[in-house]
Amino acid sequence: MQDDAGRGNRAKFLLVLAVFLAPVVASYLFYYVWPPKGAAVNYGELIEPVSLPSELTLALPDGTPLPLRQLRGKWLLLHAAPSACDAVCARQFDALRRVRLLQGRDQARVQVVWLLTDAGVPDPALLERLGPLRVVRDPHGDLARRLPARHGLTGHLYVIDPLGNAMMRYDLDPDLKRMGKDLARLLKASQIG
């Protein structure tokens, strides 16, 4: 009789435990084993946000100082490349230009930035072809030291938010539609820039 009561209590305990554990197990399975189709997942690599101080000073190609705070207020799509931009390099800047254009009416909130990695001057014809583009130098290497680079500084395309935080990066030759969707989500969710 005592054993029957013990088994009954044990069965009740296991049933209550199963009721409480079932949602946890189900959520794990649905998130990791059977993820929902069409779920919003970013394409770019989210990085630990790197705050770029507004006192940081870049320079225009002619050497005129350009405080980083003058670039604040817009979403920046930044790529570092040498001034002798070859066909691959030009294709990357064209991709950034197209991602900006994909934003439609919000494209004014986005600025494409070319961070020169050498002392040369870009070809004016190339600059004309690439459209609205801000060309800057990092004379002291302050910006380059702060940006997290897995493949070297020139191996990534960066997204910097309007407050000056580098927060996402892409490997070279990204899928433009997916990158455009990432940026569209950021612009939609953001009340700044």
| 34 has pLDDT over 80 | no
Q: Report the pLDDT value the prediction gives residue 177, as an integer from 0 to 100.
A: 94
- As a whole number of Å, the end-to-end CA separation of the chain is 74
Q: Report the pLDDT value the prediction gives residue 27, as an integer from 0 to 100.
A: 79
| Rounded distance between C-alpha atoms, residue 5 and residue 166, angstroms | 63
**For residue 15, what pLDDT band results from cuts at 50, 70 and 90?**
confident
pLDDT over 90 percentage in the chain: 60
3-state secondary structure of 61: coil
Q: Report the pLDDT value the prediction gives residue 11, as an integer from 0 to 100.
A: 83
Q: Report the pLDDT value the prediction gives residue 75, as an integer from 0 to 100.
A: 96
* Predicted confidence (pLDDT) per residue in 104-154, tens digit: 999 999 999 999 999 999 999 999 988 889 999 999 999 999 998 887 888
> pTM of the full predicted structure?
0.77
Q: Report the pLDDT value the prediction gives residue 112, as an integer from 0 to 100.
A: 95
| 8 has pLDDT over 80 | no
Question: Is the distance from CB of 174 to CB of 79 less than 8 angstroms?
Answer: no
According to DSSP, the β-strands at 134-137 and 110-116 are parallel
Fold assignment, 45-189 = Glutaredoxin (3.40.30)
Residue carrying the six token digits 């705050």: 51
* Predicted confidence (pLDDT) per residue in 46-80, tens digit: 999 999 998 899 999 999 999 999 999 999 999 99
For 11-20, 28-37, 63-72, which range has the lowest pLDDT when averaged over its residues?
28-37
Name, in order, each residue with C-beta under 8 angstroms of 24's C-beta and a sequence gap of 6 or more. Answer: none
3-state secondary structure of 48: strand
Question: Is the distance from CB of 159 to CB of 183 less than 8 angstroms?
Answer: yes
3-state secondary structure of 9: helix
Nearest to 137 by CA among 150, 151, 121: 121
Q: Report the pLDDT value the prediction gives residue 3, as an integer from 0 to 100.
A: 67
Q: Which of 6-20, 31-45, 138-152 has the highest mean pLDDT?
A: 138-152
Computed over every residue of the chain, the mean pLDDT equals 88
| Phi and psi at residue 106, to the nearest 5° | -85, 0
| 36 has pLDDT over 70 | no
